[in-house]
Amino acid sequence: MKKTNEIWGKMKKNRKLRCGGFSVLLSCLAVMICVLVIFLCDAVENKYALTRDFSFNAATMQGEVSRTVIDQLEKDVHIYAVIPQTGENNTLMQLLERYDAASEHISLSRESILKNPVLMERFSDAIGENKVSDDCLIVHCAQTGRTRVLDADDYYVYAYDTQTGVFSEAGLTYEKSITEAILYVSGDELPLLQILTGQGELTKSDVSAMESLLVSANYEVKWVQLGEDPLDAQSPLMILSPYFDFSENELSEMMDFAMAGGDFLIATQYTDPLDMENFNALLRAYGVEMLPGLVIADSEDTDSYYADTPVWLMPYMQETVATLPLMESAMDILLLPGARAFEILETAGANMNVFPVLESGKAYIRNYHDGQDTTVQQPEDLTGYFPLAVWTDKMFDDGAISHALIIGNVDVLTDSWLQNNTHASSFLLQMLRSLQGKSPVNLDIVPKNALREGLKLTGITPAVIVTVLLPLLVLCGALLVLLPRKRR
């Protein structure tokens, strides 16, 4: 102890050691302060999402529409980011952190199915066992009990290249999908859609992709059965490919629904039975009749079918009040893989307006009911341009108006590949929006560019002048310096 005190005394008497130690102490203190400031700034930055996005598409930034939705949020919404062990989507996570920081009503947690299997058990019963995967977002509001699950299919929008005939990624829809999901789970009332069951129609598993689309558009979907569940005339009724005919009482119930102003969306396949008397009576009541057979495009009309498959029709959208928003937005590319055509009846009556929504190009109807197992055109097959989807406005004596969309293909409404690679989802939502009932939530959030566009120099602009002249000025400066040196 005595020796230590002697050493410490010598150090205090030594001016160099005393000043040097003080400098080291100040340096350590400065480093500690810098580290604390860095941690503090990092914590504040993460909490309030202060990081700016200077990328070409600013995909992690929220727009005005999202900020308005967030500011008006009154219920608590929690987002479970179920992320894989590897390959984390940094763009998505940075955007989610901004949502978390933007409102006290939004919270975020990172989860893993492997580490937290209880999470899957909690939501599998309510939203379907296959919905929750190891790469998804679960948006949940405890106050309403609603849940939305988003996966990779919800993050991209595709465009059709008429030159190559290929669909490719055109934009990122992270912000649109997340904001609409928050609106869905936190909303007080949702527009209702009724789907009919009991006549051998498509099952819940058959229409799971369509139901997910409707839920993502903030619709409430209700399955109803005639004679057991009362029909709500304020909500459209979907009849999807019935296989068994309706009874007289069931037909009467649907006509009462129509007379109360109820609307129909009816889809039928070319393989569905033709001898359903009461179903045919319902169609005739809206001015149309099914034509037997499969519509096949004329091979010479290459714009009317997809690739080398003339049974995959690419119909021509007709200009109507219902379709005009789609056509103005260039969202009219649809595929109908196997379609039935309709005849618009001349005896429709003065109380109805019936007009085609989708038409084929030059085509023929292969009436396979003649026993010939071939898609090759036969002499007796009908040829021409056929209505593939029809819209009807029907007015009753008391002034009530019932609308109906009747389409000869169900895949365009229910198939997930068609939803992701064509404008099928936009078509379905626009048709439902045109039918009676509340409009779905479809926020006007423009997708962010998925690919950086190449530099385009058009005209003489300041950017062009700088881009061209700056390298030339550097070259001239270099020559002015190097040439005199070479002479020496």
C-alpha distances in Å from residue 356, one per residue of 195, 261, 271, 381 = 23, 21, 21, 21
Q: Give dist(CA 275, CA 277) in Å, integer.
A: 6
Regions in the chain scoring below 50 on pLDDT: none
Q: Give dist(CA 342, CA 185) in Å, integer.
A: 40
The pLDDT value given to residue 305: 93
3-state SS record for 179-200 = HHHHHHHHCCCCCEEEEEECCC
The pLDDT value given to residue 45: 61
CA 80 to mean position of chain CA atoms: 20
The pLDDT value given to residue 159: 65
Q: What is the pTM of this model?
A: 0.67
The pLDDT value given to residue 394: 93
Domain range annotation of the chain: 2-48, 57-191, 192-438, 456-488
The pLDDT value given to residue 240: 95
> Is the domain defined by 192-438 classed in CATH 3.40.50?
yes
Question: Residue 305 forms beta bridges with which residues?
Answer: 313
> Position 363: which residue type?
A
The model's pLDDT over 114-132, given as tens digits with 9 standing for 90+, comes to 777 777 777 765 555 556 7
Q: What CATH class is the domain 57-191? A: alpha beta
